[in-house]
Every structure is written in C-alpha cells, then in structure tokens.
Amino acid sequence: MGHTDDEGEYLILLILKDRATNEKLRKRFEAKVQAMRDERLNIKSRLETTDSISAKDREKFYSSAIYGAIHVLAAIPGFETIEALAAATKLARNRVREIVDFMIRIGVLKEENGQISSGTNHIHLDNDSELILKHHTNWRYHTIANLQFLDREDIHYSACLSLSVEDAFKLKESILANLKQNVGIVSNSKEEIAYVMCFDFYKLIS
C-alpha cells in the first residue's frame, strides 16, 4: 500500500483495536494509537531538525522577532551588510551590529569581508519549550502590526470551525504533511525574498 513503517504500524494498531473483543485490550490499543498520534503531531520530530544552541542563547534569540527577521534577511542578496539590514528593518546601525554579532557568536550567521551570510548552526524549539509561547506571540504581534499594510498578494486566513474529532486529526495530519513538504521546498530554495509563515489550528475550548 506504499505505507512507511510508522504508517503501517499505525494501520495494524487500528485493526487490532477494532478486532479486540476484550475491553481492557481495546483500551490498551487505543492508548498506543493515541501515543502514535501525539508523536506524529510533534512538529520537531516531523521536521528532523537539530539544535546545538545553548539554552541561554536560545532565550535571547527568541526574545524578539527581529532576531529571526535579520537571520532570514541576511541570506538574501542585497541584505548582506549591516547598512542594508539596518535600512530594511528600520533599526539603528549599532543595534543591528549588536544583533548580528550575537548571531555570529552562536553560529547561525557568519561574516567575511563585511558580507554577512547564513552560518552552520540551526535553531528550533520543541513544542513543549518554555520559549514556544514567546516565539509564537512575537510573530503574531508582527503579523498584526503589518495587517495595516495588507497586500492583495498576501494570504491571511482566520476562521472558527466545527468538525468531527477524526476529521480534526486528519486536518492536523494534512497541515503537518504540507508543512514538511513546504519546509523541504524552502530548504532547497534560492534566497531572494523574505516571508513570514504563521498558521493556527487549535481547539476553541479545552
């Protein structure tokens, strides 16, 4: 059927759960199915990222959206200098210099002959990181602030939905599969323009 090992195991567990005649055994399979679902919905495990940045430096990096913005912009031709980054972000030159020096130190940027580019280190947060709320909040504030400059080519989608539990899981799976595919596209894409990507799909009430 073209399943991966994990997908095949998930299918087998669903079959075993449905065929279980003993209530205790059925609940045991249900627990295993739920555990696999939880693991599948963990973004970091799906993206297979690595993180060699210290906890203290991660805290500073995620203290403001500007660190991520400069990190991305520095990889795009035309933004490889302190002056260009300062003009793009409307920050003082000395502030940009401070931010860039920090990111050079932690290895996410590098600088040669005044030209700034991406470093060798990567940074990502676990879903359960104490910084994840700050990270999401930073970029959503950034999005709200930029809605006043709404461009017809931009995509903004907001809705409140009602659907079945099973279809909610299917949507989560679809979103994560699409995210993994999109990250693959971005990873192999030439740096020419900077975008912000935010998407929210969560329970209205717990």
Helix (H) or strand (E) holding 109: strand 109-112
Kindly report the pTM of this predicted structure.
0.64
Q: How far apart are CA 23 and CA 175, in angstroms?
A: 33
Predicted confidence (pLDDT) per residue in 47-70, tens digit: 444 456 788 898 999 999 999 999
First-residue to last-residue Cα distance in the chain? 36
Q: How far apart are CA 86 and CA 63, in angstroms?
A: 19
Write out the two tokens for 80. Answer: 């490889």
Confidence of residue 154 (pLDDT cuts 50, 70, 90): confident
What is the three-class DSSP state of 117? Answer: strand
Mean per-residue pLDDT over the chain, rounded: 83
Residues forming a β-bridge with 111 = 116
Write out the two tokens for 56. Answer: 């203290």
Residues in the chain, total = 206
Predicted confidence (pLDDT) per residue in 20-33, tens digit: 888 888 888 888 87
Which residue from 160, 151, 174 is spatially nearest to 204, judged by alpha carbons? 160
Burial group, residue 74, by CB count within 10 angstroms (0-12, 13-18, 19+): buried
Which residue from 169, 160, 161, 155 is spatially nearest to 197, judged by alpha carbons? 155
Q: How far apart are CA 13 and CA 30, in angstroms?
A: 8
Predicted confidence (pLDDT) per residue in 68-93, tens digit: 999 999 989 999 999 999 999 999 99
Four-residue CA torsion sign, 192, 134, 198, 154: negative
DSSP characters over 149-160? G--TTS------
Residue 101 pLDDT more than 50?
yes
* HSE, side-chain direction, 13 A CA sphere, residue 184: 9
Residue that the structure tokens 């994990």 belong to: 6
